[in-house]
Amino acid sequence: MPQLDTSTWFITITSMILALFILLQTKIANHSYYSNPSHKDMKPITHNTPWEKKWTKIYLPLSLPQH
């Protein structure tokens, strides 16, 4: 049974890792990131709804008069 020639594996693996590293670096370098992200003011947003100005009462089924 013939032996497996592994003499070129080191060069193949190192060149593959180098090529992947260069490819990844060029992909990351093409992205544009914000230079100085600014902090947003977290003020609560108020929505004016018509039922906030009126008095409403919620009737529970158990609080209704019995027949």
pLDDT of residue 57: 62
Write b or e for each residue in 14-49: b if 16 or more Cβ atoms lie within 10 A of its Cβ, otherwise e.
eeeeeeeeeeeeeeeeeeeeeeeeeeeeeeeeeeee
Which regions of 1-67 does DSSP assign to beta strands (E)? none
List the domain boundaries for the chain. 6-59
pLDDT of residue 5: 85
Q: Could you tell me which residue, 20 or 66, shows the higher pLDDT? A: 20
d(CA 65, CA 67): 7
d(CA 15, CA 9): 10
Residue 63 pLDDT grade (very low, low, confident, very high; cuts 50, 70, 90): low
pTM strictly above 0.75: no
